Each structure stands twice: as C-alpha cells, then as structure tokens.
Amino acid sequence: MRACAVPAFASRLAPDGAVFATAQAFTTERGAAAMTEVKRIGILTSGGDCAGLNAVLRAVVFRAIQGYGWEVIGIRQGTHGLLARPVEAESLDLNLFTGQLLRIGGTILGTTNKGDPFDYPMADGSRRDRSAEMIEGYRMLGLDALIGIGGDGSLAILRRLAQQGGLNLVGIPKTIDNDLGHTEVSLGYATAVKVATDALDHLQPTAASHSRVMVLEVMGRDAGHIALNAGIAGGADVILIPEIPYRIDRVAEKIEALKGQGRNFALVVVAEAVRTEAGEPATQRQAGGALTYGGIGAYIGNRIAEATGAETRVTVLGHLQRGGMPTARDRLMASVFGVHAVDLIARGAFDRMVAWSARRAIDVALADAVATSHRVDPAGPLAHTARGLGIYLGDG
C-alpha cells in the first residue's frame, strides 16, 4: 500500500475544495485524467468486520482505476481515520490486489464499531460531537465521493455525516447478521452461514459418538438469519431465533421424541439474541466496557440437561463467523457491489446503497435501507421449510 501524505493532498486543493491537477501530479493507469478534473474517491470499512471486505475493496479499485481512471483513497479504521491529523489514509492501487487479498478475511483498512462521531467518547469520560472534524478530514483528502461499506448502524452514521457536510456518499451493505433492509444479501453473511454449517458438520459426529445433545450458539444480533439458514443446512433438530418465542418443555419433547425414534444425539442451534424463558437477554460485559450478546447457549444447554437428563455440551461460535476465507458467494457479491457502487458515482447517483434483489444488482435510497430492519419472517418460506422438516422452531 502506498502511503498517502495528507498535506500533499491539501496542497492540491483549489480554494473551493474542487480537485484539479496537472497530468504529472495525477497520472492515472489510463493517463486519461490529464488536464481534466480529477476524480478521487475515498473508501472506508466501518462497523464489525466480515469476510469479503478485501474483495469489495479490490472490486472498487479495479473498476475505479481501470474503468474511469480515478484515484482511490483508503481511509483507515473506519471514520476514525478522518479524525486523525494527518488524516490516516492511503492510496490504493491495482498492484495491491494482484494476489491474495480477494481470498482473505478481515479488512486491510481496519475498521471500528465504536466512536459515534456525533457522540464521541473522549479520554476524560465526556462525550463530544466530532462530526465537523470528520467532515474536515474528508475535505483534506480532496475527495469527490466516498464509498462507505457498513451495516445499518455505520451506514446511518455515514449518511448523517454526508447530509451535514454535503458529501457524495454511496453505501455498500455488509454484515454477517444480514439485517439491513432493501437488500436480500449483505456482504459477509454467506460466509458466516457456511462457518456455522461447518460447525454443525463437526459437531454431529462427536454428538453421535457420545450420545449427546450439542447446543451451538451463533451470532446475528437481533436477527435469526444465521441460525435458521445454518440450522436447516446443517441438519439441526431445534432452531431457536429471536423472532419466534419458544418453550423449553417443547424443546425437551422434541429431544425425547428423537430418542423414541432411536436417535442417540440432537443438534440445537440458538441465535445469540434469544431470550431466557423469563424474557431476559443473555449479555456479557466485554473488557473495555461494551455490552454484547452472549451466553444464551449455556442457559439453553442447562435447561435441556435439567429437562431431559441428556448429556449436553455447548459451543459458542463467536467471531469465527466473521473471519476466514470468504465463500465464492461473498466474493461474487463483493465484486457485484463494488463495481455497481463505482458506476453509481460515475452517474452522480449519491445517497444510494447498492443492493441485491431478484438476481441482480440494484440501488436503493440509503435512508430507506438504514431505516428498515430485515428480520426472519416467522411465516416466511424458510420458517415453513424448517417446520416442514420437523425442526422445532418455537411457537408453542
């Protein structure tokens, strides 16, 4: 990655913030930008990471440089990079993406799911609105547009910044939770489902060898998509998701029924946001103070053991679902989203989010996407499939 000194950027800015340059200063891969207005776009990854982020950076860089002759600036650590002085950003070029990055998880730019710029936690414990500093950071980079890759929370923050500062923003949806509205698929989700399905593939033989009930706790925040999809694909007997209430006596009945059929093991998938029978969420205070979901698997495992007497073990899959090699599907979506996002900028279509719907890339109003949460439909086709397979999915 080529380091990109911010003061040099600043010196290239016209007083009104427009970016003009000589051919020498901004020679592009095609050499096409000579003596014309230079298109320089920024890109950042924001919120929790997931598999496929490097693949989408690659797609954006390939399309922007090869297709339009633009320069792409990668901003580090999500919006935090815009607060640093000098701004933490680097020029991303084609050579960076020739080999491995398509295939590996994480994000080379870094990311953060903390530090809302409008309510930023300061070292002294106070909170401050630092949005103006971030907008100033954006201006210092001389950007014509910004691609923000994020989930509902981070895209909502980026949109607010864009509205306040008049930034030309295009969003790309990513979240293993797949809970963003107006897109059938978000980046990282397919890989998370694969990881959770693989976990069930690993748990089944050991469950059968020891005649045990295996409980697998998966992520997904307030949506049960990972649990439902991996549960069906991985042959679960019970799937508990936050969208559908359950009864532990019915879970126990299901396990007893399996025993009655001669089965010596059972697989139970629990989404992290499932509540206890008393309606309490299971949460954990992380080092550093953040409160996250975690622990419902242990609760369900204990209740199953009490109710059935079965030997029960619990696995919490945790952040394994966010890492690893992106599946072919996630690499494909990354490529589709990256190219479409750059094309939107070329058309001057801002305040939009790229999306996937009915087998094609579309774009939707960013405001609509972040305002709508996509959760499992208890009466939807996959819930119907699960029930059709005899899986206990809650609901009495």
Q: Which of 254, 322, 352, 375 binds ligand F6P (CB under 6 A)?
A: 322
Contact between 219 and ligand F6P per CB under 6 A: yes
Enumerate residues 6+ apart whose C-beta is below 8 A from 26. 33, 38, 71
Measured between its terminal Cα atoms, the distance across the chain in Å is 55
Residue 337 interacting with ligand F6P (CB under 6 A): no
Check binding of 373 to ligand F6P (CB under 6 A).
no
| DSSP 8-state assignment for residue 113 | S
User: Which residue number places its CB atom closest to ligand F6P?
Assistant: 219
By CB under 6 A, residue 189 contacts ligand F6P: no
Residue 220 contacts ligand F6P per CB under 6 A: yes
Stretch that binds ligand F6P, among 51-59, 172-180, 298-306, 354-362 (CB under 6 A): 172-180
CA pair distance 266, 158, nearest whole angstrom: 44
Cβ contact 351:359 at 8 Å: no
- Annotated active-site residue 177? The verdict is yes
Nearest Cα residue to 337 out of 357, 354, 350: 354
Options 22-30, 219-227, 359-367, 387-395: segment touching ligand F6P (CB under 6 A): 219-227
For the segment 123-142, give every residue that binds ligand F6P (CB under 6 A). Answer: none
Residue 152's nearest CA partner among 190, 104, 106, 113 is 113
Please list every residue from 21 through 80 that binds ligand F6P, using CB under 6 A. 48
CB 269, CB 386: distance < 8 Å: no
Catalytic residue among 144, 152, 177, 330: 177
Give dist(CA 197, CA 294) in Å, integer.
19
CB of 154 to ligand F6P, least distance (A): 10
Near ligand F6P by CB under 6 A: residue from 27, 91, 113, 372: 113
Cα separation values, 21 from 8, 46, 379, Å: 12, 30, 57
Q: Give me the least distance between CB of 318 and ligand F6P, in Å please.
A: 8
Q: Annotated active-site positions, please?
A: 177
Question: Which residues contact ligand F6P (rule: CB under 6 A)?
Answer: 48, 113, 151, 175-177, 219-221, 272, 290, 292-293, 322
